[in-house]
Amino acid sequence: MSRTKLKNEEITVTIESYVFEGKGLARHRNTLPDGTEKDLVIFVDHAYPGDTAVVEIRKKKKNYFEAVIRELITPSPYRQTALCKYFGVCGGCRQQDMVYEQQTKFKHEQVVNLFTRQGSFSDFEILDIVPAPSEFYYRNKMEFTFARKRWLTRDEIQGDAQFSDALFAGLHVPGVYDKVIDIEECFLQSRESNAILNYSRDFFLKKGIPAYTTSDHTGFLRNLVIRQTGNTNQLMVNMVTAGENPELMGEYSGYIRALVPEITTIVNNINLGKASVAVGEYEIVIYGPGYIEDVIGHCRFRISTNSFFQTNTRQAERLYAIAREFAGIKKSDVVYDLYCGAGTISLYVAEDAKEVYGFEASASSIKDAAVNQQINNNSNTRFFESNLYKSFLPEVEGNNLPKPDILITDPPRNGMHTTTVEDILKLKPGKIVYISCNPATQVRDIKLLAEGGYKLQKIQPVDMFPHTYHIENVALLKYEV
């Protein structure tokens, strides 16, 4: 039996359960300095229930330890062979070696545990998780990075691999920013996306065009962003560069369109800054309209290079349908949509309501929302740029807006600001539909709303991102005080 130290030690454990953010939970009997025995909690990265493994303790926290697998002795029955050859290096599909049906079961359990244990909620309806219709090729947006250095696998290093090329394109290893995994095939977006990536790399490599590097801020190529619609067969190529070169980009446009005729528009975003972001200060449309359009339900939406749009179109349709069903909007209802982005949910539910008011902090998203409103010939929706990290009540009061009967909120991963929660409690809408990409912060916010008189009615998880630990969840609350 080991002593308390444990850090950096290797021990054998069996994984009991799967917890949030893709870790397996194990317990290890340990003798404390005073001679008493205690089961220590150990979270093991990339470990599944049923795994028996030798693990190395990496970190000691207040109430638990963190570890990594050093040797898998007996694999979990839920393990399978990953399809992608970059699995285990690339951080994109961390659960690709788990049977998909089991992925959804674990995600459902995690959401339920967060609400019943962390949130201490009871007496509410728990609907089954909605699995994704496709395990692969489900993303409508992929962002690749150009680099001068590539990440070498352990086998390549041991084989003394040599690479003379000076341009690589692909995805980052988590925590490594000056190198990329030189991707040939990714199963997240589409076969057309893979072709565009490979042909683009070949074109610029032959031209001798260097990647931008943050080490000395020289070079031209920064990112390749590919956006693809789920329902309208439109395809955007957005090349993010550190400057302009119209002749080169014109030649590239002709080259790539000849090889991938499905491309409907090509845009060049110019990022003159030093930050490693795939967004430019301005853009030049090289070919086509400079945007794509997709359909969700009865609505059509314009997607520009930097617009926010749900990454899984088919599951977004299901997500919005669930939110709409939960809301149960009547023709007499006033609806508020917080964090409305480009107005997708606002416009999707607008035909059910008397009026819809969307609030969003991003000025560019508000402009996109206005365009989408015109495309859909909508007349009962208004959008407001509002500081949702401070208060959205000034826009409500300054524009003399009616109070909401129903409020829909879809905040980012860190959830709603406490001031935003306070604003909602002042307005007291009869129903709240809370859509979240992070159930942990969703539970935190709903506990605050419950203190203000709201009762949790039901929840429904939706798997938007197969092979990852991310999960969306829709919750319905009603005011009962």
In tens, the pLDDT along 200-232 reads 999 999 999 999 998 888 999 999 999 999 999
What is the per-residue pLDDT for 89? 87
Structure tokens that stand for 279 in this block: 């967004």
How large is the angle between the packed helices 191-207 and 246-259, nearest 10 degrees? 140
CATH number of the domain that residue 28 is part of: 2.40.50.140
Residues linked to residue 59 through DSSP beta bridges, in sequence order? 66
Structural domain of 456: 103-134+312-479
The C-alpha atoms of residue 471 and residue 449 are separated, in whole angstroms, by 22
CATH number of the domain that residue 262 is part of: 2.40.50.1070
The C-alpha atoms of residue 334 and residue 342 are separated, in whole angstroms, by 19
Do 409 and 466 lie in one domain? The reply is yes
Do 364 and 440 lie in one domain? The reply is yes
Last residue of a domain, one of 35, 64, 79: 79
What is the per-residue pLDDT for 301? 95
Answer yes or no: is 43 within a domain.
yes
Last residue of a domain, one of 36, 63, 79: 79
Does the annotation mark 437 as catalytic?
Answer: yes
Do 382 and 428 lie in one domain? The reply is yes
Do 115 and 145 lie in one domain? The reply is no
What is the per-residue pLDDT for 4? 56
The C-alpha atoms of residue 276 and residue 125 are separated, in whole angstroms, by 44
Do 125 and 153 lie in one domain? The reply is no
Per the structure, the count of domains in the chain is 3
The C-alpha atoms of residue 54 and residue 38 are separated, in whole angstroms, by 20
Do 75 and 124 lie in one domain? The reply is no
What is the per-residue pLDDT for 61? 87
Q: pLDDT tens across 86-140, in order?
A: 998 887 888 999 999 999 999 999 999 999 999 999 999 999 999 999 999 999 9
Answer yes or no: is 244 within a domain.
yes
- Prediction pTM value: 0.90
CATH number of the domain that residue 112 is part of: 3.40.50.150
CA angle 342/135/460 to nearest 5° reads: 60
* Backbone φ and ψ of 168, nearest 5°: -130, 155
Low-confidence ranges of the chain (pLDDT < 50): 1-2
